[in-house]
Amino acid sequence: MQFHKYDVVIIGAGGAGMRAAIESGQRARTAVLTKLYPTRSHTGAAQGGMCAALANVEEDNWEWHTFDTIKGGDYLVDQDAAEIMAKEAIDAVLDLEKMGLPFNRTPEGKIDQRRFGGHTRNHGEAAVRRACYAADRTGHMILQTLYQNCVKHGIEFFNEFYVLDICMTETEDGPVCTGAVAYELATGEIHVFQAKSVVFATGGFGKVFKTTSNAHTLTGDGMGIVFRKGLPLEDMEFYQFHPTGLAGLGILLTEGARGEGAILRNGSGERFMERYAPTIKDLAPRDIVARSMALEVLEGRGAGPNKDYVLLDCTHLGAEVLESKLPDITEFARTYLAVDPVTEPVPVYPTAHYAMGGIPTNVHGEVLRDNDNVVPGLYAAGECACVSVHGANRLGTNSLLDINVFGRRAGIAAAEYALSRDEHVELPENPAAQVEAQVALVLSEHGEERVADIRTELQATMDANASVYRTEDTLKTALHDVQALKERYQRITVQDKGKRFNTDLLEAVELGFLLELAEVLVVGALARKESRGGHAREDYPNRDDTNFMRHSMYYKQGDGLAADIRLDYKPVTFTRYQPMERKY
Amino acid sequence: MTATAEVSTGSRGNQPPVPDGAITVTVKVRRFNPEFDDEPRWDSFEIPALPSDRVLNLLHYVKWYLDGTLTFRRSCAHGICGSDAMRINGVNRLACKVLLKDLLASGGKPTTITIEPIKGLPVHKDLLVDMEPFFEAFKAVKPYLITYGNEPTRERVQSIADRERFDDTTKCILCAACTTSCPVYWTEGSYFGPAAIVNAHRFIFDSRDEGAEERLDILNDVDGVWRCRTTFNCTDACPRGIQVTKAIQEVKRALLFKRT
């Protein structure tokens, strides 16, 4: 076992982690731990843009952005947080530009802006050009720019260090986070990092689903670790399905395509979004578009030989727009489906994309241990966190915004907290014991079950029973399946028993997190007997503000994998926006 | 049970159902785990796969159902994270961006696909190499915007044409396919390599940047751009379609004529 001591430890090196590191690293001694290399993080897969009311191309202001975010989230958004995000968006974009991000430009040389789903002028009048972008690789450019600036500032990275636990020390003032425990992939060695502050920025858990835009590595590790510590997770039933995944594959095609004028059509060529969202049509928020697509297919109006997808028609945009503004998605369609978007419409279907829920935090990134108290020294930002700025449905581009605004805030808060403490709080006794036992257990021969089989079955049941539309019956089936899989998981065997880059072991550990998070998602979806944002219950088709205008909070009861989940609620923060019916 | 049967079913239970339209291909993988092996070897696996499968799917099939010790990096699985550069049938590719249909032997003959780690970087295990020398070369060219003087309150102004000037080299995902396809890099690991030069280019030709001279000095070094022999392997290898050799030539020209 090796021991390290830092002021701040950041776990995860995607957009939120590196944005936090740039702030923290200039103020306090900071280490960034990532199970990948920083530039492999899935922020790099984001395409379309990052919204900020710069008003570079048309009238706009951050209050409209706030309103759109709250309405887009079906009023489950904490309004104070949404206001902060929309207000700080402008500086967040300008900061990135000053760090070197090569945004597309207007003829005057300013940052160019494009339309995006749910972003409107004057509270819903019409689509507004708010998304700042770099072709259709905005996330790639953000990830590269943040990494470049980490290099510039000499940020210390521990690459391929897989964090499996955090250290919590009981004090007079309650539990305090005092460090993290990591498994070094190269050597199999365990490392204990003592720290005054720990920041989670570990991303989402899209791999609970089969059809997903998420990377193989997005297995909810940070959320899982926090949950196992008895800390709550928030709003996990709200999972976003991005409308335009390549059919059958789930690979993302940016909403920016529709922002540039692409149109969704059903099997008979009809522009069906005119029926579902008469004002902004194809640029309605993602939950609405995904449901509309699913309905078209369910009601027999799909396209293709099995009528099981719809079409994204970009053909009228012309080769020049596709090559200059949407080159990557053009190539994805050509490479993976052998379809050329210049001449043919592209088969698309919703793909599991983004967790609105996660580790509850306040607007400083401080992690909550219940509705009223924070865990001193523990922070979270980005997709793994729930501030909540996305409520029941995130608007397109607001994730790149979230990681920059709240990554920055968490980095500053973590560093300032660390600097305000003279001494490190003592670590608990044997801080690595739990991780050592966990690794030893996975490596021991204790059954016949194969990780890939359990993961495949998990993903299949989640796709079939807990995706765009849900009912009591499908969710009960999913819960039954997930619990049976958790039981089988106790009997897994990995083949690789070595210490060197044991990715067999890694996948087994990741699956453990996926199973727990899938169960939380399903339990939450069963309990929420209403339809709101990304959570659509066929048996409860309406939003129920009387009973469910509140955040869900889940706590793990007990230690084992099969432990119970306790459900509690947290009020939504309102400032000036009263809930209204959500029409577009 | 015979040895052959053990290879096909392994110790990992039944295989998943074979999809309609699958064909059986042989995947020959270069294996080496310094923890146990004295030297590298080739392992072959027979795999049912669809023509639309990515090579990454074949590797996953091996890892998940035949041999869990097979080790490689991967993440996004659609060509943007840069984790899974490897030598596939002798050329550098991303395993998630090559489809089986493009590797099938002609005339319905049996297909064998060979997969090796990228060359020129020390092998840690199987297809997974030590990326540190690669990232050290990247860091050495000061791959970040360098400016002097006061920052503007709003964004720096840049014309569409000036933005376009370095567009190609902003696409780099640091997968190392170019650098590890370069014969010069194979023999002289001290050479910065194409990827580092691409990332220097991305800033040297950015109108907002004021660090071109510093970077050009670095690249004028004995291990810099002059090592390039314009073999174009790098351009062929780039999964992002970057004109790598052209970018290197532009840096050379900037050095010769001191203009960016």
Q: Which of A140, A251, A501 sits opposite B124 (nearest CB)?
A: A501
Between B155, B166, B241, which is nearest A110 by CB? B155
Cα–Cα nearest to B103, from B26, B16, B180, B181: B26
Nearest Cα of chain A lies from the Cα of B18 at a distance, in angstroms, of: 14
Q: Contact at 8 Å (CB) between A42 and A167?
A: no
> Are A109 and B157 within 8 A, CB to CB?
yes
pLDDT value at position A265? Answer: 98
**pLDDT per position as a tens digit, A51-78:** 999 999 999 999 999 999 999 999 999 9
Q: In chain A, what residues touch B128 (CB-CB under 8 Å)? A: 501
Percent of chain A at pLDDT exceeding 70: 100
Enumerate the residues of chain A whose CB falls inside 8 A of the CB of residue B140: none
**A286 included as an active-site residue:** yes
Distance from CA of A369 to the nearest CA of B (A): 32
Q: What is the pLDDT of residues B3-46, one digit of tens each?
A: 333 333 344 568 899 999 999 999 999 999 999 999 999 999 99
Q: Which of B36, B143, B208 sits opposite A151 (nearest CB)?
A: B143
Q: Answer whether B170 sits within 8 Å of A134, measured CB to CB.
A: yes
**Is B82's CB within 8 Å of A40's CB?**
yes
Token pair of B6 as six digits: 């053990």
Facing residue for A495 by CB, picked from B69, B158, B170:
B69
pLDDT at A471 over 90: yes
* Pairwise CA distance, residues A282 & A29, whole Å: 47
Mutate to test the interface with B, among A42, A54, A96, A98 (most CBs of B within 10 A): A98
Nearest CA in chain B to A95: B155
- A17 with A205: CB under 8 angstroms? no
Token pair for residue B198?
């691409």
Nearest to A452 among B35, B64, B158 (CB): B64
d(Cα A356, Cα A270) in Å, to the nearest integer?
Answer: 31
Q: Which long-range contacts (CB under 8 A, 24 or more apart) does A178-184 make?
A: A178/A377, A178/A424, A178/A425, A178/A426, A178/A427, A178/A428, A179/A9, A179/A427, A179/A431, A180/A9, A180/A11, A180/A33, A181/A431, A181/A432, A181/A434, A181/A435, A182/A33, A182/A158, A183/A435, A183/A439, A184/A158, A184/A160
Question: Is the Cβ–Cβ distance between A449 and A489 less than 8 Å?
Answer: yes
Tell me, what's the pLDDT at B259?
60
Residue in A105, A108, A187 to test binding to B, most B beta-carbons within 10 Å: A105
Say yes or no for a CB contact (<8 Å) between A100 and B74. Answer: no
* Residue B255 Cα, gap to closest chain A Cα (Å): 23
- How many Cβ pairs closer than 8 A exist between chain A and B? 153
Two tokens, residue A235? 């709003």
- CA neighbor of B117 nearest in space, from B85, B89, B82: B85
Q: What is the mean pLDDT of residues B165-170?
A: 98
Query: For residue A324, with 0-12 CB atoms within 10 Å meaning exposed, 13-18 middle and 19 or more buried, which class applies?
Result: middle
Residue-level pLDDT at A142 = 98
**Complex confidence, ipTM:** 0.96
**Look-up of token digits 């608990």:** A428
Query: 3-state class of A420 per DSSP?
Result: helix
Mean per-residue pLDDT, A140-151: 98
Q: What is the pLDDT of residues A384-441, one digit of tens each?
A: 999 999 999 999 999 999 999 999 999 999 999 999 999 999 999 999 999 999 999 9
Query: Is B156 in CB contact (< 8 Å) with chain A?
Result: yes
In this predicted structure, what is the pLDDT of residue B260? Answer: 57
Looking at residue A464, what is its pLDDT? 97
Buried b (16+ CB within 10 A) or exposed e, A159-194: bbbbbbbbbbbeeeeebbbbbbbbbbbbebebbbbb
Catalytic residue among A115, A129, A265, A286: A286
Q: Tell me the chain B residues in contact with residue A45 when contact means C-beta distances shorter than 8 Å.
A: 76, 78, 80-81
Q: Does pTM surpass 0.90?
A: yes
Q: How far is residue A31's CA from residue A8's CA, in Å, rounded to a whole number?
A: 6
Nearest-Cα distance to chain B for A502, in Å, is 7
Residue A565 confidence (pLDDT) above 60: yes
pLDDT of A129 higher than 70: yes
Neighbours of B257 (CB within 10 A): 8
Which of B121, B170, B199, B214 is the best residue to mutate to test the A interface, defined by the most A CB atoms within 10 Å of its own CB?
B170
pLDDT cut 70: percent of chain B above it:
94
pLDDT of residue A560: 72
User: Measured between CA atoms, how close is A385 to chain B, in angstroms?
Assistant: 21
Q: pLDDT by residue (tens digit) across B175-192?
A: 999 999 999 999 998 999
pLDDT tens digits along A231-250: 999 999 999 999 999 999 99
